[in-house]
Structure 1
């Protein structure tokens, strides 16, 4: 697909894309948009950063721009359901960019902020509603929004929705949407429960899969550091002081862990902030803004809060805690090596996490090199027998979930993930060096 003009979008959308600097569709856009313009339901397997927001927003805008008359008060024509506040906000911002020359309206609703501005916007009538499940159900219960006029329904980040415990909310919402509708489901991974959800939600869907969930980006250098759990914060301080780091995204498994790490770094005069589901919307936006502008060197985040963070200057991702789901490792380290840059992924591994490391290496089909050249290297951990990791899906609470309403969207044309290099042999304590990494 050479350019957006070949996708048969209306001219005002093409003009907006040109003005925004978009020239070439990403693979998800090139493959999905023709199906959606033809009215087919769609199952999209795509990670954040592949351009999927434009893949569903452009066809929606294309369709609604050709409908005459304003939408009825409190009765949107399209619903985009997304798990987190940041993602909802960024999807709204993208719709504003793409739709600046078409006569469609939109609004975004999520928790953590006052309802009244959202209620007023809905009462004026909007074509597109971007929402998180909790706030949407609140507004439905108070009769400030009804979904009987929905023509297009998008379920975005479906796997994270289920991780955060939103499945019952999703089912409640689906029950009141017209059965005759255009439905799109996007998910970064396709576990059994998502496949079952898609089967009941979609009708004869086209399937588009552009980024295999376990591939690696060759531009990312990976390494693992074995360390006693009690020494992790000291090791992090050491790495931040001695590595050539511009901006770093540090992942913890829990919200409380993120707070403790950020407080420790601040105590040692390393500019940082924590971002997770318990933070207020203003605190999250302030932290993200400070990080994007380079005022903060370190952003400490949980998986859910970090989903969709798009900062091109992230030079390093540090897994302070290894994730208990190997696919999360793929998403985490894909936050670096953006916009054609190289990136680095450093993982701390204590004795209890050896099993997680083993699971990650099986998923990415390669061995993560070990770095023993640090003062906190622990031979006991390095030689410990891996504990078989639990297959239980995250509830979202420990990972910074609970009931947050925030997320993210990556603009531009991200580089496609390349096939992981195959490595043979067992890891030894001296096996250092560079390897490919995951997208």
Structure 2
């Protein structure tokens, strides 16, 4: 590792590299083409950043191209790489769809050494003759399994056709395997496989299944929103269900954000920013939109819809518990869903019943703190009022032994009130109306 990087790492107290960071350092620095596999959340971006950046020549044009499957992942990678590139006086430019292309073209004229982009925008710029990669030395495919699928694979093919240089290093990174035949055929080379997926890494991710009827899943989210310091990325299989749930949570005044492919880059960036700052309890998203995202210290991931395969479950779970930190994966579903989930993944999944009790034992403190924090805000107080209602309902349903005496007392108090018949009540209302008509128009004293 470059001594300037080591100095910075030492200054922030970083002492140990992850297995993937150690394994790829030498091959990348030596220019080998590799196929690197490691679990999500193990620092793959830094794994290729640290060895490659010191090999780049400042002010010598575009030398490193990093491709990512989504705008968000490309921007996230840009931030990480730029942080270290600044130490070496290297320029980094992001080329993503949805962003201002004129601004990107103006920046390209300065010939940044490092480009980070999405295949669509990069292939567009190459096709229009605005981007030339004659000095390119390395191509990185981040989340390679996603990039080498369907239409995106065709865009990668178009980009590579303009390069097609056997001396250009190609590195594939991801948590799941790519088709070796497809990768070797496209880039016309063999890749050195570096597989660190089965290396033991300290982890504290808990996996739980919460039996929940489909029409109750939105209410589960509303309950979880009352928990203090709780945030979660919520995954959906369809955009339609995501938007229905977003409407429900908005009606219930639950602070949340959505990340949907098709939204403008500004909207998506704002959603991520609100979630990272903690102003949104939930980030509602789909698998494609959230691929590879890194939310530091994210407490939980929620599978509103169960993933369709084990690979997808792995990528969703990788959003929490990153770099060995604690995390929680919650899956909603019925008995049939539970059986399917056990077939999909090999992890130990605990079935949690009486979920309301789990939610309610923290809610009292949350409600009081929410009232103090948002005093005078009608919207926020509405959330707190609903939270209190959920807690009260929960306690009445889930703690019958403790509340029996109080229930009897309430019932006795109600029975001591005088009973008013329907006939008497109607007569009283009729008398009040007559009195009102009689006094109508008279001056008040």
Question: Under TM normalisation by the shorter chain, which class is it?
Answer: 0.7 to 0.9
2:206 corresponding residue in structure 1: 221
Is the deviation greater in 294-303 or in 225-234? Answer: 225-234
Alpha-carbon distance, 1:369 to partner: 2.7
Task: Give the secondary structure class of the aligned counterpart of 1:369.
Answer: strand
- Residues 1:123 and 1:260: Cα distance change in structure 2 (over 3 Å): same
1:45 counterpart = 2:32: no
State the distance in 2 between where 1:272 and 1:216 align.
32
Task: Give the secondary structure class of the aligned counterpart of 1:225.
Answer: strand
2:221 corresponding residue in structure 1: 236
Structure with more helix by fraction: 2
- The Cα offsets for residues 257-315 of structure 1, whole Å up to 9 and x where unpaired, read as 22222221121121111112122211112111111111111111111222233223322
State the distance in 1 between where 2:221 and 2:126 align.
45
Contact map agreement 1:43 1:198 (CA 8 A) in 2: no
1:204-353 to structure 2, matched below 5 A, reads 204-212=190-198, 219-241=204-226, 246-338=230-322, 341-350=325-334, 353=337
1:188 counterpart = 2:175: yes
2:392 corresponding residue in structure 1: none
Alignment partner of 2:350 out of 369, 372, 382: 369
- Residues 1:217 and 1:271: Cα distance change in structure 2 (over 3 Å): farther
Alpha-carbon distance, 1:119 to partner: 0.6
Alpha-carbon distance, 1:174 to partner: 1.3
State the distance in 1 between where 2:11 and 2:117 align.
27
1:175 corresponding residue in structure 2: 161
Contact map agreement 2:24 2:47 (CA 8 A) in 1: yes
1:124 corresponding residue in structure 2: 110
1:98 counterpart = 2:84: yes
Who wins on radius of gyration, i.e. which is larger? 2
- Residues 1:101 and 1:341: Cα distance change in structure 2 (over 3 Å): closer
Contact map agreement 1:137 1:169 (CA 8 A) in 2: yes
Alpha-carbon distance, 1:332 to partner: 1.3
Is the deviation greater in 285-294 or in 199-208? Answer: 199-208
1:372-383 to structure 2, matched below 5 A, reads 372-374=353-355
- The Cα offsets for residues 369-412 of structure 1, whole Å up to 9 and x where unpaired, read as 3233258xxxxxxxxxxxxxxxxxxxxxxxxxxxxxxxxxxxxx
State the distance in 2 between where 1:305 and 1:95 align.
21
Could you state the TM-score of these two structures normalised by the residue count of structure 1? 0.74
State the distance in 2 between where 1:218 and 1:18 align.
24
State the distance in 1 between where 2:322 and 2:21 align.
19
1:161 counterpart = 2:151: no
Alpha-carbon distance, 1:140 to partner: 1.2
Task: Give the secondary structure class of the aligned counterpart of 1:24.
Answer: coil
State the distance in 2 between where 1:97 and 1:47 align.
23
1:35 corresponding residue in structure 2: 27
State the distance in 1 between where 2:158 and 2:339 align.
37
1:70 corresponding residue in structure 2: 60
User: Any unmatched runs of 5+ in structure 2?
Assistant: 357-445
Residues matched between the structures, number: 355
Is the deviation greater in 12-21 or in 262-271? Answer: 12-21
Structure 1 runs (4+) deviating above 6 angstroms are: none
- Residues 1:216 and 1:229: Cα distance change in structure 2 (over 3 Å): farther
Contact map agreement 2:41 2:323 (CA 8 A) in 1: no
State the distance in 1 between where 2:316 and 2:80 align.
23
Alpha-carbon distance, 1:344 to partner: 2.1
State the distance in 1 between where 2:324 and 2:29 align.
31
Q: Which has the higher contact order (CA 8 A, sep 6+)?
A: 1
Alpha-carbon distance, 1:21 to partner: 5.4
Alpha-carbon distance, 1:171 to partner: 1.1
- The Cα offsets for residues 320-374 of structure 1, whole Å up to 9 and x where unpaired, read as 00011211112212322346543222111247745641432xx3254x2323325
1:381 corresponding residue in structure 2: none
Alignment partner of 2:16 out of 21, 24, 27: 24
User: Any unmatched runs of 5+ in structure 1?
Assistant: 1-6, 376-439
- Residues 1:353 and 1:167: Cα distance change in structure 2 (over 3 Å): farther
Alpha-carbon distance, 1:218 to partner: 5.3
Task: Give the secondary structure class of the aligned counterpart of 2:88.
Answer: coil
Task: Note the aligned Cα RMSD (angstroms).
Answer: 2.7
